[in-house]
A = this chain, B = another copy of it.
């Protein structure tokens, strides 16, 4: 197998795919167009076993699915973008993403790779300083943006799929490619895990572009840990409206309860045992200027270096939300809509990736053990693979970053796409002899 030649040849495709996905971002559980494009490409590559909708996902374990009327509108949008209604029907109710499998027919390892495909609710910068805007492939959808490199991850997934399709004769064992929806908010991985896709996997690989600011293209982290456990929840505050001029004291102010909660949630005490995080990402309250606000809603998340630290944050958050409601004499209800766990990569992969690096011109430097320092939905998959006796790793593909993840001018160097494909297909190649 001439991997070097394959990667050089794919380089242009990877950039083209990345830019196409970048121009059409879709947030979690609404990746209708994205899923269709992936499906089309895999089909054209010759993939036959492609599982979509409830075949790919355990419907009930999906978290944070948008309300039905939003999904309806989004499906109509996808229809107007050219997704056939027959294909849309398979994804009905927000069952996006897909799983493609390929069997060499020969004895060998079962290798699974996961690529996340969703975007974020951020309006992309139109600044000339921002490469996608300057070059002309910025998001065409106001309010949505690929600001966490999942466009690149999807392109890498198609690159790996191309490799498998072209070289299956030379490969052993079987392959599962998971194009996962709704990674943001840790909402999607669990439903793929529950469907059983990871239950018989020998080797699992996933990874992320970027993560650190000070890396070069060619830096590759063989394993990483430090996944933050996380809980995503929504809180609603219900008060009583009243005329703000005539009798303000008759109102029960839900807006102020939500504001109080937000401020104090960000003030939860740091913890001596390790890293914690909290964010109130959205707050919507009130109906009119001269009405004491009757309703308010916040969307928040907590994180912790361990499940215990995250639980500390959740407990504090619950008390603060209820007390903030009491402070303004309104009612609060809290709903958990997503959660993520911590996970550890197998150090078994360190020598493997070091060996890969020796053979590759593109890999300049291997970091044996790296730290993510954020939540990552793949943790569910890693844990399942390890529980069942397989080995799993989460790589990091280095690149300078123009701005941090989730920033409206987030960007990375497109050369990283080839590096990532190079690492992954070489790792697949190295794994041929192995089986757990």
Taking Cβ atoms with an 8 Å cutoff, the residues of A that contact B are 27, 120-123, 143, 148, 184-185, 211, 228, 230, 232, 240-251, 253, 255-256, 258-260, 262-264, 266-267, 269-273, 275-277, 279-294, 296, 299-301, 303, 312, 319-320, 322-324, 326-327, 329, 373-375, 404-408
A276 near B270: Cβ-Cβ < 8 Å = yes
Distance, CA A375 to CA B240, complexed state (A): 21
- Contact (Cβ within 8 A) A244 B406: yes
Minimum CB–CB distance from A386 to chain B (whole Å) comes to 23
Copies per assembly: 4
Name, among A185, A242, A246, A374, the residue most crowded by chain B CB atoms within 10 Å (CB to CB): A246
Collect the chain B residues with CB atoms within 8 Å of residue A272's CB: 246-250, 373
A416 to chain B minimum Cβ distance, whole angstroms, is 17
Q: Which listed residue (B230, B287, B408) contacts A282, Cβ 8 A?
A: B287
Please measure, in the bound complex, the distance between the C-alpha atom of A286 and the C-alpha atom of B283, giving whole angstroms. Answer: 7
Residue of B whose beta carbon sits closest to that of A322: B326
CA distance A327 to B267 in the complex (A): 11
Q: A143 — which chain B residues lie within 8 A by C-beta?
A: 287
Q: Do residues A244 and B327 form an inter-chain contact, with CB atoms below 8 A?
A: no
Find the B residue at minimum CB distance from A294: B408
Q: Which residues on the B side are within 8 Å of A248 (C-beta)? A: 269-272, 277, 279
**A61-B294 Cα distance, complex, nearest whole Å:** 31
Q: A249-B270, A264-B267 are in contact. List 8 more A-B contacts (CB 8 A).
A: A121-B288, A122-B291, A242-B407, A248-B271, A256-B267, A256-B280, A264-B327, A279-B290
CB-contact partner of A293 in B120, B245, B282, under 8 A: B282
Q: A253-B269, A281-B287, A288-B184 are in contact. Are A408 and B262 (CB under 8 A)?
A: no
Report B-chain residues with C-beta under 8 Å of the C-beta of A283.
255, 258-259, 283-286, 293, 296
Name, among A282, A289, A319, A324, the residue most crowded by chain B CB atoms within 10 Å (CB to CB).
A289
With A and B bound together, what is the CA distance between A299 and B228 in angstroms?
33
Please pick, from B312, B322, B327, the residue contacting A249 in the complex, using a CB distance under 8 A. Answer: B312
The 8 closest A-B pairs by CB, nearest first: A259-B259, A244-B279, A282-B286, A281-B289, A323-B327, A247-B272, A245-B374, A267-B267
Contacts of A263 in B (CB 8 A): 256, 259-260, 263-264, 267
A-B contact pairs, 5 of them (CB 8 A): A242-B407, A243-B405, A255-B280, A259-B263, A283-B293
* B residues less than 8 Å from A267 (CB atoms): 256, 263-264, 266-267
**Which of A248, A253, A329, A406 counts the most B-chain CB atoms under 10 A from its CB?**
A406
Decide if A284 touches B287 in the complex (CB within 8 Å): no
Nearest-Cβ distance from residue A411 to partner chain B, whole angstroms: 14
Given A243-B405, A320-B327, are A282 and B277 neighbors across the interface (CB < 8 Å)? Answer: no
CB distance from A255 to the nearest CB of B (A): 5
The answer to whether residues A319 and B312 also contact, given A211-B246, A282-B286, A289-B232 and a CB cut-off of 8 A, is no
With A253-B269, A281-B293 known to touch, is A327 a contact of B324 (CB < 8 Å)? yes
Contacts of A373 in B (CB 8 A): 245-246, 272
CB distance from A322 to the nearest CB of B (A): 7
Known contacts A281-B286, A291-B281, A319-B329: does B245 contact A228 (CB below 8 Å)?
A: yes
Residues of B within 8 A of A408 (CB): 241, 294
Q: Check if A244 sits within 8 Å of B277, measured CB to CB.
A: yes
**Residues A270 and B277 in contact, CB atoms below 8 Å apart:** yes
Residues of B within 8 A of A279 (CB): 244-245, 248, 289-292
Q: Which residues of B contact A211 (CB under 8 A)?
A: 246
Given A249-B312, A266-B269, A283-B283, A185 and B290 contact (CB-CB distance below 8 Å)? yes
In Å, the complex CA distance between A263 and B322 comes to 17
- Whole-angstrom distance between the Cβ of A332 and the nearest chain B Cβ: 11
Contacts of A185 in B (CB 8 A): 288-290
A143 CB, nearest partner CB in chain B, Å: 7
Given contacts A120-B291, A270-B276, A287-B143, contact A230 B259 (CB under 8 A): no
